[in-house]
Structure 1
Amino acid sequence: MMAAAIVNLLRVRYTTLLSGITYALNSFSYIYYSKSRSSSFTIATGPILGIGAGILWSAQGMMMMAYPLERQEGRFISIFWIIFNLGSVVGGTALFAINYKHGKAK
């Protein structure tokens, strides 16, 4: 509920930007961890990413319902979920291909 209030207060453009930065911050924390082996920064960015993700998904839902006409809302929602799940399919297929290739080489 708080995420929706934040999106309404700061508007979609800024909340999308700020919450996207939390994903970048979390990715940077893993790079920092691989160099320094200090996990405190990575642990600290976990809750920050959680808050940012909630705000991002609220902004995404608001955009998905605001732009289409009423008769097109179902189509937009289905297109979003298709694209969202294709990421998992492509990622899983890539990992399967890598593991399959390495399993054959032994």
Structure 2
Amino acid sequence: MEDVDIAQRLKRSPNGKKDIHVILRFKSRMTRNRVLRQSKLLRAKGVFVREDLTPLNHEVFMSVKRKMSDEVKSVWSRNGAISYKDARDVVHRVEWEDYQHWLDLPWPKK
């Protein structure tokens, strides 16, 4: 707890899920980066860690994740920069110039 500046628990989601969502603000960027680097280990224990993105970055992140799910294997962000791994395991960084392309793609039909 000495590394956490403030912690806030969010309300339960509208669909009634009982997942606990907590926002943490770390005292140092080094600690935050260390936690983000360990996110794979935490995920194995049922703890999911993600950055708090701006609304635009979050929309682009979700577009990359959902709009071409057959071609995109995984998506992540570090320091606000969005990256993804394609089906051939090649890592790509989503550049600012590509944002509109991802936003303009149609959402998949349910």
The TM-score range, normalised by the shorter chain, is: 0.3 to 0.5
Task: Indicate the structure with greater helix content.
Answer: 1
Relative to the length of structure 2, the TM-score reads: 0.33
Larger RCO: 1 or 2 (CA < 8 Å, sep 6+): 1
What's the TM-score, normalizing by structure 1?
Answer: 0.34
Q: Give the structure with the larger strand fraction.
A: 2
